[in-house]
Structure 1
């Protein structure tokens, strides 16, 4: 990783150490997801989440976790690459991975002031809601940018790959 992304994608222990001096000022925002094949909908959500505080922490599902949630053909992009891409976004301050079925333990360790998920998650269903609200934090489900999903990107790629105009053989002009 480049230095700028390496200092943003951290193991949990290092992340918590980096958050300690920032915690007093408040404004720690947390979101999580698979972020496989990052697209404009992801970036839109992350930028809006970051606008809710001073620091945005992204919990990133480990590869096995993505496979369990999305099926055996996923993730398309390996964990290290997904972490690097997320860490390269200006709106993301820190990225850390988790390999549990849910991010509950990670949320309880990070102790965010604001917990955010996309609008496909009703607030009542957001993992970690009780923990964040019990500490006086805010839990939000932000509307998704219409027309964007990793699944739709994959389906489009697969449909295009069968198109006669997309020949992968060498050109002989």
Structure 2
């Protein structure tokens, strides 16, 4: 329409102006139309420490239960997904305390992590059951938990809650440690070994 108006204003005949307008419209569509004008999509904003604390604060203000869990989550698999879903079902929000890249390397060796912390956090946040991710640098989550102070700390495993080293810390502010079923057939180490054979 703009090209047609410009052509008519310049004194072109209606037919000539319409022909030019059609030519310009075809060229615009061939170049991708409106989609080609759109900016590159921004990468998703990851929930960092401040967002995790905001989620926890809002949940508490509404009278809800703050649940946290933690781990490396390097190569997310079905066992992780089940544990996370089980953890979320116990409260009103789930905050994942995620080992940083440096922390994973210290725990697992120089070949790990397979996925960097940005990608691991993004995958976790794509799950409906995860409300926020808090990346921590230490090898264990105690310092992150001390700052977050969740009502429940949930881990997957075949041990009792009392056996977890975080249990006494949770008790110090009235929190509880809970274990949910662990799926030993699913593991990042096994996945990595299988991928190495294929690749």
Same fold (TM over 0.5): yes
Give CA-to-partner distance per residue, 1:14-37, whole Å, 9 cap, x none: 421332222131311000000000
Q: Size of the alignment, in residue pairs?
A: 158
Equivalent position of 1:23 in the other structure: 60
Give the alignment partner of residue 151 of structure 2, picking from 113, 126, 141.
113
Across the aligned residues of Structure 1 and Structure 2, the Cα RMSD in angstroms comes to 2.0
Higher helix share: 2
Q: Distance in 1 between matches of 2:170 and 2:86?
A: 19
TM-score (norm 2): 0.73
2:133 is the alignment partner of 1:84: no
- The 5 A counterparts of 1:114-129 are 114-119=152-157, 122-129=160-167
- The 5 A counterparts of 1:143-154 are 143-154=181-192
TM-score (norm 1): 0.83
Equivalent position of 1:164 in the other structure: none
Q: Distance in 2 between matches of 1:3 and 1:137?
A: 38
Give the number of the structure whose alpha-carbon radius of gyration is greater.
2
Gaps of 5+ in 2: 1-40
Gaps of 5+ in 1: 162-173
Bigger relative CO (Cα 8 Å, ≥ 6 apart): 1
Question: How far is 1:68 from its partner?
Answer: 0.7
